[in-house]
Amino acid sequence: MSDFPQTAFGEVLTAKLTPQAAWRFDYGINSRLVTKTETNGGAVTVDGNRAKLATGVNVGGVARIETVKRLRYFPGMGGVLRMTYVHSAPKALSNQYFGLGDTADRLFFGYNNLNWVIGRRRGGVDTVVVRNDWNGEFPAGIDFTKGNIFQIRYQWLGYGYLRFFMLDPNGQEIGYKLMHTINYPNTSADVHILNPTLPIFAEVANTGNNTNIVAYTPSAAAFVEGEVGEYSNPMDVFNSFDTSATLADTNNNHLATIRNKSTFLTLANRVPIQINSVTFTRGSGSPASILRLYKAATTAGARVYADHDANNSPIDTSATTTTITGGTVERSYSIPASGSRDLTFKPGELVLQPGEALTFGQQNSGVQSTDSVLTVNWSELF
């Protein structure tokens, strides 16, 4: 069976695909877009505009990449991955996996030891189906050491179908072949993966092997089937934070940090944070100043954080009095004497992925002692 013009839930596919995450490597590996894990001799480099993942020759060598952004799944809509990949020849006691997911939940293709498999990971536990047991069509003449194009289309709602495709190289008019469907509805009381909001990933690992396993991926993208408006999405939760300080020097002072924690309620956090607006106000008689917004700021003193809403929000905040010593400046704004600034951001313009923090720094042009008030409003994109 070839691919068909329907969404994962069977509607006629007329709505556009909305991209949520992607990678390309024309300019190397941008750490703001892709994170890499290199363990026990494993290495991630770029070769011919492709990410090159190599285990090295050590037992336990791992090389993995993941997109910083994730396919943000919305209930009742389908998720799609399209990805290109090149394998090494398979070796016993090694894995070559790629698809959607992280170390906890995955939907993937690849080699498991000597077997080419399709699989899912739920809560860190893999369930794989070897090629001979697939229930679909497999294109003829495939060489996995050459570049091929793969697709995953999945339902969630806890119990949806998971479909795995490959572009047939034997004729352009054939399109994608549906190689295997995990027929999950009416089979279990447990959901098939725990969290359907997933990054794109690729990984090679030596689980007992001591040869260098190498794989390549030049391009990938993950989509939601249909249009998703961030501000009208019923899974958005709105929140805000405010703080004030009295500053009487010309240091680059730390006003506040808004941090999207890596872990939320003991689980890996996959909730991005959309900064919607910032207001900065100075008291009467204040000097002109600069307001800077940093990612990954460093400070002279340790910052003390407090949960914003421990049971409902992945955010914690700090208003520790200290100075900023470094970091990447995302935005910089001039504030006139005795003035204020109202800033608004479009959806997608200023987003904190899990593990990222946004720091606000203030630097005065004079030493007058005046109050500063900062307010920040954001959406939590569950």
Per-position DSSP letters for 2-49, written without gaps between them: B--SB-TTS-B--SPEEEEEEEE-BTB--TTTEEEEEETT-EEEEETT
Q: Where are the beta strands (DSSP E) in 170-235?
A: 176-182, 200-206, 214-217, 219-225
> 380 - beta bridge partners?
237, 273
Q: What predicted TM-score, i.e. pTM, was given to this entire model?
A: 0.77
For residue 208, the 8-state DSSP code is S
Half-sphere exposure of 220 (CA within 13 A, CB side): 32
For residue 302, the 8-state DSSP code is P
| CATH class label, 236-381 | mainly beta
> Which CATH entry fits the domain spanning 17-225: 3.30.470.20, 2.60.120.200, 3.40.50.450, 3.10.620.30?
2.60.120.200
pLDDT-based confidence at residue 2 (cuts at 50, 70, 90): very low
User: Helix-strand-coil percent breakdown of the chain, rounded to 5?
Assistant: 0, 55, 45
Q: What is the Cα 83 distance to its own chain's centre?
A: 16
The span from the first CA to the last CA of the chain, in angstroms, equals 35
Rg (CA), the chain: 24
Query: Are 128 and 119 contacting, i.e. CB atoms less than 8 angstroms apart?
Result: yes
| pLDDT the model gives residue 170 | 86
d(Cα 104, Cα 181) in Å, to the nearest integer? Answer: 21
In the chain, pLDDT over 90 holds for what percent of residues?
75
pLDDT-based confidence at residue 53 (cuts at 50, 70, 90): very high
Reduced to 3 states, what is the DSSP secondary structure of residue 132?
helix
Range scoring the smallest mean pLDDT among 56-65, 73-82, 297-306? 73-82
Residue pLDDT, tens place only, 19-36: 889 999 988 898 888 999
Two domains, one topology: 17-225 and 236-381:
yes
Q: What is the mean pLDDT of residues 281-295?
A: 90
Whether the pLDDT of residue 90 is over 50: the answer is yes
With left for phi above 0 and alpha for psi between -120 and 50, is residue 312 left, alpha or beta?
alpha
With left for phi above 0 and alpha for psi between -120 and 50, is residue 266 left, alpha or beta?
left
| pLDDT the model gives residue 301 | 96
pLDDT-based confidence at residue 66 (cuts at 50, 70, 90): very high
| pLDDT the model gives residue 285 | 82
Q: What is the mean pLDDT of residues 267-284?
A: 92
| pLDDT the model gives residue 10 | 59
Whether the pLDDT of residue 42 is over 80: the answer is yes
Cα–Cα–Cα angle for 148, 215, 145, nearest 5°? Answer: 45
| pLDDT the model gives residue 371 | 85
d(Cα 58, Cα 60) in Å, to the nearest integer? Answer: 6
Range scoring the smallest mean pLDDT among 199-213, 295-309, 361-375? 361-375
pLDDT-based confidence at residue 11 (cuts at 50, 70, 90): low
**Could you identify the residue written with the tokens 């800033």?**
343
Range scoring the smallest mean pLDDT among 71-75, 106-110, 152-156? 71-75
pLDDT-based confidence at residue 5 (cuts at 50, 70, 90): low
d(Cα 353, Cα 250) in Å, to the nearest integer? Answer: 32
d(Cα 108, Cα 8) in Å, to the nearest integer? Answer: 17
pLDDT-based confidence at residue 14 (cuts at 50, 70, 90): low
Whether the pLDDT of residue 317 is over 90: the answer is yes
Domain range list for the chain: 17-225, 236-381
Mean pLDDT, the chain, integer: 91
| pLDDT the model gives residue 8 | 58
d(Cα 194, Cα 190) in Å, to the nearest integer? Answer: 9
pLDDT-based confidence at residue 247 (cuts at 50, 70, 90): confident
Whether the pLDDT of residue 120 is over 50: the answer is yes
